[in-house]
Amino acid sequence: MKTIKWIFVICSISFLLSACTTKEYGTIDASTEDVQEILDTGQTGFVLIKDEEDSQLLRNVEKAFLEKEQTVMLFDVFQNDVSNENKNGLSNNPFRPNMPNVNTVYYINKGNVVEEYELETSLDNQHENLEEFISNF
């Protein structure tokens, strides 16, 4: 009986440890504060400034980041707090000096925008080109 309890304890611990180390890939919704934190604290990662909902462009981004096991933060200029439309109903990109274009994936290294990939101007072979862009970093 003690052996069964020990096996149960060991299995439980290993399950908890594996759950704690699981990384989320693909797209993650981000608020103004989330993106600003990346810039202010000198973090590295990908940010997508978007103004579209459920388009093929966004599905391509999701698929490419999942396949490359990377994460991109999605900032919607019409929902600066992630879940609610902006009170005035207008688009608001507070990052315009650093990240001026919408529907563009930006690579940020140590809080600085290093490179961008414009989704709307790169429609031919977009999936492959986006995967190559992700792989460069």
Domain ranges of the chain: 23-135
Q: Are 28 and 72 in contact (CB under 8 A)?
A: yes
pLDDT average, residue stretch 121-133:
82
CA 33/CA 106 separation, integer angstroms: 17
Per-residue model confidence (pLDDT) at position 19: 44
Predicted confidence band at 3 (pLDDT cuts at 50, 70, 90)? low
User: Residue 36 pLDDT more than 60?
Assistant: yes
Q: Which residues pair with 109 in a beta bridge?
A: 112
CATH 2.30.42 fits 23-135, yes or no: no
Q: What is the pTM assigned to this prediction?
A: 0.79
Q: What is the pLDDT, as a whole number, of residue 128?
A: 86
Mean pLDDT across the chain: 84
State what percent of residues in the chain have pLDDT above 70: 82
Angle between helical axes of 126-135 and 56-67 (0-180°, round to 10): 40
Average pLDDT over residues 103-129: 88
Query: Tell me, what DSSP letter sits at residue 83?
Result: S
State the pLDDT at residue 127: 80
